Chain A
Amino acid sequence: MLRIPCPHCGERDYTEFRYAGDATKTRPAHGTTDARAWHDHVFLFVNPKGPHREHWQHVQGCRQWLVLERDTGTNAVGRSWLARAGEPS
């Protein structure tokens, strides 16, 4: 069972969370009219085998969005932090 450390609630089963993909993507600025920039943002994935930063929402807990470090090759879980707070220094 994948267990995710929630900054508020502690370590919980992943089934309490909703997965929301790559957290390193940056949405194009509002008003961007370049269709390719939107295409690349929406449809292309790095899809790494190894370290990955990703968004999860703790829907059955504190409902906060967090960023999790996970290795997609092993599912080993690293640090996590609140998405709105940014990466701790």
Chain B
Amino acid sequence: MSKINFLKPDKSNLSTFLYTGSFLFFISVIDVFLNSFFRINLTSFLPSFISFLLPLILGFIGLYFIRIEFSGIKNLDLINKHINTNNFNAILSLFIIFVIIKSTPPILSWFVIDASFAGDSKDICSGSGACWTYIKVWMRRFMYGMYPNAEQWRINLSFVALALLGSVGYFATEKFKKYLTLYYVVIYPFIAFLFIFFFISGGPVFFDFSYGIIAAVISIIVGFFIPSRFKFYYFIFVPITLYIALKYFIFYEELIELGKLDGLNWVETGAWGGLSLTFIISFFCLIFCFPIGMAFALGRRSDFPLIRYISIGFIEFWRGVPLITVLFMSAVMFPMFLPADFFIDKLVRCIIAISLFEAAYVAEVIRGGLQALPRGQYEAAKSLGMGYWKMHIFVILPQALKLVIPGIANTFLALVKDTPLIFVVGLLEIVGMLNLAKTNPEWLGFAMEGYVFAAIIFWIICYAMSKYSYNLEQKYKTER
């Protein structure tokens, strides 16, 4: 009887168990710690197998001894509740603690202690650690691709300007808040477009599109004043007519002059690359895929069967194929579908392909939000005499979009993570540049550093986005 009592920890002789248990536990942790940090093996006199397992056994016995329910000591109860509820959990906890201790020294030494930071040639990297010199030397290429060094201020300036313009929402006073949607949906993308395609590219490369954008902006603004009965027809016919009119009749000469900013060299899109290209592609695809996806989500829930089937076909087609084949299509098949003298830049083809692809996913997410809304919302809006567009713009979509913020954020995250795939068409963003740098004969053998560097950058971007979407979700959550 006394033997069983000795082995079963309880409150009556709490301090004995507590001291023995913690002592054993700390012995085991210290053993592993010394072993991995200083390469001292306290138990080297034992056979190697037992010596290896000893910390686990000691720690397990220690944790068993301190597992005393309702001991009255706050910290002990906390430990027992969180890492030491039963034998199985105790072993898992020990295992994780040991893995963390064991893996810290190699990781630390690779990242910091044995790593080389100084200098700008390969000779410095002779140690066993990482060669961050490699990243330092190639930094400009990883950030800007093959963009000429002397011109890189254009990218920096554009991004800073766009970031400042994008943060306007935070400083807007109550008076201007209501115009923010218009600003972000119409004006801001337009400014961004001008910046990127006229300033970064430095010439009338994508010139045709500027007419399209001007036509679209004008027709959207005028569209607010068109009675909702004619809105559909208006949006079908007017933008195209306006585009043709702008392009061929009105001010052709003036825009050509406007397109060429003085003193800026033209940099072809093939030279763009690195992280800046990742941002540019993500940004444009994000802008384009959202309205397209919204249109197809509405189309899929439309009462008109033909529109519904076309939308279903579109969505299911894009969702069924991998992005890489879509990019293949944009690279090798799409030019066949265009008139022989009609040339669309590689980057634009890419942006179109990714936008259409992600639009299908956005459409499904938004459809989920539309379906989740109770019928009463539709009926209430209709009973107020609202037409289809008014009902959706003022009643349905604001609520539906609020519901699907996490889903949309996930789609956008997927979009950012999909951008490296553009290597298929020969555009090199940061991962592509890494692969290029890796094969440079002067810098062979530093693949690991490059990938770790890119992984850290992507991780920060994606993690920040997901946290931001979580905050957004909390902010717009309305209690029902």
Q: Do A and B bind each other?
A: no
Chain B residues with CB under 8 Å of chain A are: none
Chain A residues with CB under 8 Å of chain B are: none
